[in-house]
Structure 1
Amino acid sequence: MSIAASRFFSLPPEQITPALEAAFFSSLKTGNDTFKKTDVRRFEEIDGVVAAELAKAFPGQALELLDVGISSGTTTLELAEALESTGLDFRITATDRSFAASILDGPLGSRALVEDSGHILQFEIMGRPLRAWDRRLDRFTGRSILNAALRKVIGRSAREQVGVRPVELVSPRLKEQPGVTIAEDDIFTRTPAFEHKFHFVRAANILNLDYFDKDRISTGVGHLRAYLRSPGALLLLVRTDKVTSRNHGTLFRLDEDYRFEVVRRFGDGSEVEDLVLAVA
């Protein structure tokens, strides 16, 4: 069962369990029509392989890692735990396009969790969470009428800036994790401060053909390659099958000619592996 945003963001991090966190974020449908779905231990096996490869490639070094498109950040936290268990010295920069949101007060004790774009993620009535997105059945049950009315009321509160409480759409547990820095960043806009900085870059469930065309993906890969520190640095592209929950990805290494070579495949490998290998 999900939890109201006002309650979730008021809890101390030590009281937030992975299951509670997954239930909360998985109930939120973003403005780009995707869910902030978070499965616990989604990349557990892959995280172990990455930790071992980094320990082998960069023994004794202080590692800089970039995790792109982290959504709620749960998988970033789990990656950090895997690296810690291997005894690695690391810092992770965890990015997404935006973490900013607000909890807005409405009339009669109602509230809403709203993205900065104005898109409503969750309603709250008398402390109970209500989904803000419509299902097909809602047209017959009358729920879509309720949602439309709530959107109108909350929209007025947003314009008048009534009872605004800023929050960040990221795991409170991650924000407490030493060695992790959270930053807003767009994978398709090159960031000079990231260039030649990282020993390892992960892009999970973002550079997928379901989301972007091949040219767009090649642009993103080109930016990620520019962020890798030197030959020997690693890039992981992985996606989770929505039906089977299986992971399919490829771990790449930057060679001496600054081209990518395959280190290891997971499941069926990355669906965009050919695009990565073709980046000149």
Structure 2
Amino acid sequence: MLLPVTEFQDSLDPSQTVLILLHGVFGRGKNFGQIARVLSKDVQCMTLDLRNHGTAPPGPLEISAMAKDVIDTCLSLKLEKVILLGHSMGGKVAMSAALETENHPAEWHHILKALIIADIAPISFTSSHRNMASDLARLEFPALKTRRMAADFLLENVPEVTDPAIAAWLTQNLAPGEYPYWETNIAQIALDFDNVANWPKEKNLSPYTKSSLFLRGEKSDYIPTKSEAEIFRLFPKSEIKTIENAGHWLHAEQPQAFLHLVKNFLETQFS
């Protein structure tokens, strides 16, 4: 399927490098809007809504299929040079787009020039977000006229939502009003959440031999030390950088440090 695109320049030149930012589960492209606007001063940027998120079409939530969506969208736009930057689930989608060579058109692997992976490793996880997805899908909303009211409702009714910032972030997926509703396909996300948490180790994955940058939050456990051997096996030209005083949402918690490392990496791609 083709995905909704937001561009951050007046006119896209498909012959020049495009940085494509991929959001995490429960997110949408506009979560990366502020980061993309800053980076667009140096490189063409666009964000995508991945399937079941934002305004994207519905479909089974499966990493390989989501990677194909991204590739199909890039090819439909006739992009010639792409760098993928993915956070969390979006990072797994980006890694799948780089690794599963047997499932992708040959020209794609000439188009994909580099990867930036934000706080996720090519391993499976046990995540408390699974319960949160189920609880969000079961919610019955009263009238909620503002996102602030919606955030307060989530804090009071979803045990896994304890941080006001996370509650506010989740409301970006909610249309408030007399009859509030999820704009994101929360029910499908809850149904298929294990597909997002798991990593398809059994697949025949070809190492990605171009440059890759892995960024992890100092306070996060999504790129544990034990995963580094697998990262370097699958991405032999990768480096891992740690952002101090950041958790899983490192680009939101420490945006300046995040931008600094991303810009430095991009400079090496253009030198």
TM-score when scaled to structure 1?
Answer: 0.31
Structure whose residues are more often helix by fraction: 2
Structure whose residues are more often strand by fraction: 1
TM-score when scaled to structure 2?
Answer: 0.32
Larger Rg: 1
Higher relative contact order (CA 8 A, sep 6+): 2
